[in-house]
Structure 1
Amino acid sequence: MTTWTLARIAELVGGVVQGNPEYSIHGLATLKSAQAHQLSFLANPLYKSALLSTQAGAVLLSADDASTYQGQALIVKSPYAAYAQLTHYFDRTPTPTVGIHPQAIIAASATIDPTACIAAGAVIGEDAVIGAGTMIESGAVVGARVTMGNQCRIRANAVIHHDCLLGNRVTIHSGAVIGDDGFGFAPHQGRWHKIAQIGRVVLHDDVDIGSNTTIDRGALDDTIIHQGAIIDNQVQIAHNVEIGAHTAIAACCGISGSSKIGAHCVLAGGVGLVGHIEICDKVHITGMTMITKSITKAGSYSSGTAFDSTDNWKKMAVRLKKLDDMAKRVRELETLVKQLTANQSSV
């Protein structure tokens, strides 16, 4: 069990102790579930009422929140960022043993840094290059001529197909498939003819790819995910998409081919993009929104209708069907008003 004093934690996160600096902390927990040996945090004002009843030994708080809190606290600029930093000190994820497990399948031409970890059942293809400190977990497959940098983590049963390029500190979670064929077919004489997908997938430094996400290789040019982008579970990214630095894409989004998304964007769950459009930097797209044309101005964008009771929603759906007819009637009324106004002016 990891144990830290509040004083030591304050050093790690650049905070100030409110209370006993020698108080021992053995773990992290939410305000609701924390016990006296655990540290919690308040990042969302919606949970501020939980401070009144929390049993946490100490809480990560902003200076404003700490000024009214009677218990022990660590005062930091950003409680959520401090919490994120501390999770790594309390993380109990097993660390694989350095070296190549005898049950791994390694091509003779592969180049593997001696500090890398290759687990049982992992497969490394011909001419692949694995960097220092990189971990390939059980059942993961790294295809021919894949190159990955240092400190990457390829979780169990992830697949990286041939020729893909990964930078440093890239994480690919279980079940993700990187660099499989894009959806490329040419119609001819009533049949679909497959187009060979000869581009790559390029993942820059610090990219994080969620479980069961698929990123298709480019048809000709590469599919590119830039530095620090984070992509959640079950996201589909089609061929030749480009995603900007530090953009976040939540679960179940679908990005159609040759779309380009800028830097520092956020796509909430279930967002869809048609192909061949561009999204500029610093765009926030709310959940279940369908984007059908390019966005050239930063800001928040939404589509669809908000949920309601089924009865009200059905009534609204009926009215939506009548909108075109209503618009025509409004234009006719506007024309009539203009005529009446003109007639009165001529009198």
Structure 2
Amino acid sequence: MEGLKDLLIARALEEGFSKARVCRPDAVPELAARLAEFVAAGRHGQMGWMAERMHWRGAPDALWPEARSVIMLAEVYTPESDPMAVLGMPEHGAISVYAQGKDYHDLVKRRLKRLGIWLIEAAKKRGDAAEIKVFVDTAPVMEKPLAQAAGLGWQGKHTNLLARDLGSWFFLGAIFTTLELEPDLAEVSHCGSCTACLDVCPTAAFPAPYQLDARRCISYLTIEHRGPVDPELRGLMGNRIYGCDDCLAACPWNKFAAEAREIGYAAREADPPLLAELSQLDDAGFRARFAGSPIKRIGRDRMVRNVLYAIGNSGQAALAPAATALTSDADPTVAEAARWALARLTSAALSDED
């Protein structure tokens, strides 16, 4: 496909992607073993879908055997302000940067489809038939290892992808195609001796560099984990109510972070949300407030559970009525979180008196 790949990369940039590279579907032969080890250790927590579809997730060439190339694409969502500043605002909830705007699944997939259609037409003009499949974080595709194999960036010690020319704030998308495209050279780690991302983690979720135990990760706990969170971890979550950006924000490669081009990723609210307001949400109110946001997937009960943990960690006696109002909530996990928060606030108040 001489020339077509160059045209493809140029077109990807025109569509709004920040970077595009290519690898083979079988470019990471060790993937299946790494995934099996992760699951066998139980580090996937309640994410049962990782174990159920390991045969596809661990072998991209098995997901679609006809595919000959994987086009990996990056789309930047770099924040305009310090994402860590909200951690010093105990009355407010901290929401991960990627979830403050529109749902990235919709925005990235729309762009991928346009690029894929262009690729089919461009190949057709050359007399070649092409098929494609596009993926954005919802199918059994290990995007990060494939992106490193394609040279898009490398998985840092926090296991997230970063790049010298993009920083660490970007989404990944993939186009599998039956076309034979020239693969790029794989990227290697440029983390060196730096451990900033490991040191900043509030819950010590990294057993070792380049390893993650999701069961201790605040992003997992606030988004994927169902039911009560281990009391040992609740107090470490601070006011993080959806996701956690600490390890990304700590990375020194962000001094080279590219500027976001998609306005849809900008925060929909000027200020971080107030915990007292979020605690009052019912199902209808939750759906209305977070329509079109990735936050909607966790539902009202899990969000309010997270909010109550943040209230308990706030040390703000003024938030006690918000917790009291939920001690008899219809959802038992919410009710238990409210009682925990109230007890925690009471304990903090007594300590202050002493």
TM-score of the aligned structures, taking structure 1 as reference length: 0.26
Question: Taking CA–CA contacts closer than 8 Å with sequence separation of 6 or more, which of the two structures ends up with the larger relative contact order?
Answer: 2
TM-score under structure 2 length normalisation: 0.25
Larger Rg: 1
Higher helix fraction (1 or 2): 2
More strand, by proportion: 1
